[in-house]
Structure 1
């Protein structure tokens, strides 16, 4: 176009020289080499041929800049003005709507505004779905795939929940209304690097669904100062992932204030663009949202998000070995496909077992390989550089911890399939039951014996991941998982089973106390669940097994119960939804301590009690049970609770009535909770 215009001017006569910053000038490189410059935008042919950045000298400022400097600035200003207008009008086209309604909008009836919001969101999800059908980045689907339209509708109903009613819903318990935090620009360079370093040191070791070098290139393009305007990138994909990584990193800091929620809202401005691609990056985006929900007391359901990510993986064939694909992707994409699948599978397995639900995909349907045990920096689009880790004695890589996490999640999946999913063979009297349990225990012992070395840290641990305690806690949790079905539903259980479970529960209570009390590690919903279930298991063993009662001493029992109670108290101070867990465990713990002291007063050489403990109020118990049921727990934990209360708390005449109300409270609760 510019060449044609120049030709027309030349044909009319002498060319008029325009004086000003937009005058077409020979670039600096052509001037220095005394070459003829063709004035092409954004790079002349000479610079393009030798791979140099094509710059011209501004006649006024003498500064070297790109030839389309002003046009690029105008484009940026237009983009920012458009984004500002969308935010102010409430039509961001994003998952998180920032409510900036004027006085006239405030006067509309609530029902009318709700209908308008729903219509707008539905229309948007339809557009997103249609975009997904013709996006250049869309990958081929694996067999009977569903449309992006259906997927975007699901995303509309799950990811949009927090901003449509952005309350302080901690673990499913509505708290007082809190104002919607505004979105925020990206932090400055130093803070941004700090937040991303926190993420990759504390979250990435267990959930490596992002490629750190790729992320660092996005981060550099958005944060690092640049002398060349053409290098500035406003790619919504980069903006989404940088905001989400900073958001999750900020959640790990104790003094972050509203910054995590602001960054989360900022990221949601770009999520529709990422999801509409219906490819690897769309799954990574869902997993980023799952990381937010795992670390925050707010956010969409973890079970829903992990299920969405897992189904997208299945839809794209990531659960199958790469040999099933006709075309082999580049090594980086091939490794990231494996990573996102196993991360989604692991989170789904954890959420499903927590809630007592089926797995998103049976393990026997999976033949995808594990990712290579090698550092992120060694994997590029052109190949894998370096030698993967192959021995337990080799130094750990950025993938070593995650691979061991994937293995324990596979063991959980096999435990679920072998013990919990098939009622016909779950009875301990079944001929193969004992063999299956022994096989699972053997696999668990092999797993704990082969843990990788703990990676070195540049700062203090802000997450329990990649610590020795994390492996020990998962080992103990798996022991309880293997035997819990025997504890809660069967008679004539061997004393060794109770002893194993009591020791495992004791180890969990002490391990969490070491990690959380007096350290900057934040609590999560998963912490609450594991700790509460371990405490109940310990109480159940004390009440049910004479062997455990005979083996325990007062100091050991008191220390275990105190550690569990102390942590529940601290968690409840932060999250209101944890209050019923704290209250009911304190009541059960006090009654258990009194029972054990009565039984073993002489052996423990304890003085006679000076006062009689007050009985537990049955109305409080009913309310606590209902609250816990609303949050969501697995059937095994529900049975432990009902068994403990039915056996030794409710011995009054009206106990039958109260037990019935507890059971109704448990069964009448269909939804709720962060995992739910």
Structure 2
């Protein structure tokens, strides 16, 4: 039967797909609870505070119009390059040459821009590019660097608040960039609320529907596709993390996937597919969108609020595991290359993101079976014996879960050792947290077994927790994850 309605300690609803829901069920059975910092605004309740930002909830932000004059051209050029070369491995919905043209126009017109109607929204996109790039300049940004990133965000915030006229594609792109930035700043509730606006604007201009390519220029066609599928993926991941219903519904969508062509190949009147040299940087985003469609079905089938039979649960797990394995086979040449040549930064980031997302989706598929014996943990009794085939399926799902969790902790360790784990990588931290929870829970379950059965998993979880702790800032989501992981670690040692 489905779990009863749950809320976290801040009173927010959490559905069954949420890692928080999974933990609440563990804590309920272990009689443990975790305290979370309190917030203020209902739209950002539970988020880490940010300088200047929370004071803007009830008043219009002040924006200094001379800011354009103070922006170093060399610095903003460097930020744009960092954005495209590193900051956005899979959410690549902006066209690089177009953004560079807007940057040129910003300085040429001293901030006025040529077309007054879309000047504000294009400048907002530029400032969000600056903000995201600044957040990804170093593993551990200084307070001054973080402050600069916030100020870029505030500049975009002010420009968007004064937006007038028709809804433009850039209106959605700017807000999606804000969502990505807010996640990097541990502002998941703020992100979720803002995403609702972005998603409804996307619906309003029909981003979820395919358009005839001959009616609009090719750059806009590709940007519409990229923007929608980036929003679709973010919708799924917010739903997964928070356990809340999704905004987009698959039955309403017939938008085509983006083409696997790079920005320099796309022109207003044609796409030059013959100029591809080597792997396209769009391979990662397209693969990410395809996996997100699988994730959508997992959230609907595996984590339905409606009662599901035992056989249906295993049927769904089998179907979605097959889909995930087939997905990976199609990108195996990138994720599992025969030769291990060093990759350029953007390809290395894409490889890490796709691997982590794949293994975490595998965890989501099989995680419900891990708790099957947890109800008997306290009294030490053994679970009732079902038929052998059913028990074999349970064991197979648990093994899939453990393998995926181990792969995540191994990848995070490689990133950490290689200096590639940035504080701004919110989803990486979330995936690492989810993996460590799986390994700790399994260790607790197997505490009465010989140590060699669980010791490797306990070591991997502890190492992953230590690495997250070294990355965490006070009050951040990662810091909260570490509080929960410490409780589980102590319980694993106690058991």
Tell me the TM-score normalised to structure 2 length.
0.73
Q: State the distance in 2 between where 1:198 and 1:308 align.
A: 27
Matches within 5 A, 1:548-559: 552=453, 554=455, 556-559=456-459
Alignment partner, residue 32 of structure 2: none
Aligned to 1:603: none
Q: Deviations over 1:270-310 (max 9, x none)?
A: 21354643121211121121121122235862222333222
Work out which structure has the larger RCO, using CA pairs closer than 8 Å and 6 or more positions apart in sequence. Answer: 2
Counterpart selection for 2:324 from 422, 426, 444: 444
Inter-partner Cα distance in structure 2 for 1:245 and 1:214: 13
Paired residue for 1:279? 168
Q: How do residues 421-432 of structure 1 correspond to structure 2 at under 5 angstroms?
A: 421=304, 423-424=306-307, 426-430=308-312
1:406 equivalent to 2:292? Answer no
Matched, 1:499 2:399: yes
Are the aligned partners of 1:510 and 1:563 in contact in 2 as well (CA < 8 Å)? no
1:249 corresponds to? 133
Q: 2:218–2:269: 8 Å Cα contact kept in structure 1? A: yes
Structure 1 residue 544 displacement after superposition? 2.8
Quote how far apart the aligned CAs of 1:516 are: 3.2
Quote how far apart the aligned CAs of 1:574 are.
5.0
Calculate the aligned-residue CA RMSD, in Å: 3.7
Checking the alignment, whether the CA contact within 8 Å between 1:170 and 1:577 is kept in structure 2 is no
- Does residue 539 of structure 1 match 2:421? no
State the distance in 1 between where 2:316 and 2:275 align.
33
Q: Is the 8 A contact 1:307 1:348 kept in 2?
A: no
Q: Distance in 1 between matches of 2:355 and 2:449?
A: 21
Match in the other structure for 1:172: 47
Partner of 1:114: none
Contiguous gaps of at least 5 residues in structure 2 = 1-39, 56-61, 374-382
What's the counterpart of residue 216 of structure 1? 100
Tell me, in whole angstroms, the C-alpha distance in 1 between the residues paired with 2:120 and 2:343: 31
- 2:256 aligned partner: 369
The 8 Å contact of residues 128 and 177 in structure 2, kept in 1 or not, is answered as yes
Deviation at 1:385, TM superposition (A): 2.1
Contact 1:247 1:263 in 2 (8 A): yes
- Partner of 2:175, secondary structure, is helix
| Cα separation, partners in 2 of 1:178 and 1:340, compared to 1, 3 Å | closer
Secondary structure of the 1:420 match is coil
Q: Could you give the per-residue CA deviations for residues 342-374 of structure 1, whole angstroms, max 9, x where no partner exists?
A: 111110110001111222122232111101111
Cα deviations by residue, 1:453-489 (Å, 9 ceiling, x for unpaired): 389999757x97313x332222210111001222236
Number of positions where the alignment pairs a residue of Structure 1 with one of Structure 2: 416
Q: Distance in 1 between matches of 2:269 and 2:171?
A: 23
Match of 1:560 in 2: 460
Per-residue deviation at 1:518? 5.8
Q: Aligned equivalents of 2:278 and 2:465: distance in 1?
A: 38
Larger Rg: 1
Q: 1:387 to 1:359 in 2, by over 3 A?
A: farther
CA contact (8 A) 1:498 1:548 kept: no
The question of whether the paired residues in 1 share the 8 Å contact of 2:79 and 2:130 is answered with yes
1:459/1:574 CA distance change after superposition, 3 Å:
farther
Q: 1:203 to 1:572 in 2, by over 3 A?
A: closer
Cα deviation, 1:610-653, whole Å, max 9, x if unaligned, reads: xxxxxxxxxxxxxxxxxxxxxxxxxxxxxxxxxxxxxxxxxxxx
Is residue 483 from structure 1 mapped to residue 372 from structure 2 by the alignment?
A: no
Quote the residue 2:380 is aligned against.
Answer: none
Larger mean Cα displacement after TM superposition, 564-573 or 373-382: 564-573
The residue aligned with 2:334 is 453
What do residues 108-156 of structure 1 show as CA deviations (whole Å, max 9, x unaligned)? Answer: xxxxxxxxxxxxxxxxxxxxxxxxxxxxxxxxxxxxxxxxxxxxxxxxx
Corresponding position of 2:201: 312
Q: CA, structure 1 residues 581+374, in 2 after alignment: closer, same or farther (shift >3 Å)?
A: closer
Q: How does 1:613-624 map to 2 (within 5 A)?
A: none
2-side partners of 1:366 and 1:230: how far apart? 37
Separation in 2, partners of 1:176, 1:250: 16
Residues 167-216 of structure 1 show CA distances to partners (whole Å, capped at 9, x for unaligned) of: xx896255999998986445312211111111111234311221111101
* Cα 1:320–1:548 shift into 2, 3 Å: farther
TM-score, reference length from structure 1: 0.55
Q: Which runs of 5+ in 1 are unaligned?
A: 1-164, 596-676
Deviations 1:236-291 (A, max 9, x none): 23322221101110011234242101111222232135464312121112112112
Q: Is the 8 A contact 1:294 1:302 kept in 2?
A: yes
Q: 1:551 to 1:223 in 2, by over 3 A?
A: farther
Give runs of aligned pairs for residues 508-587 of structure 1, distance below 5 A.
508-517=408-417, 519=419, 521-523=421-423, 524-544=425-445, 552=453, 554=455, 556-576=456-476, 578-587=478-487
Decide whether the 8 Å contact of 1:248 with 1:292 is kept in 2: yes
CA distance in 2, matches of 1:485, 1:516: 29
Cα shift at 1:445: 0.9
Cα separation, 2, equivalents of 1:189 and 1:174:
31
- DSSP 3-state at the match of 1:258: helix
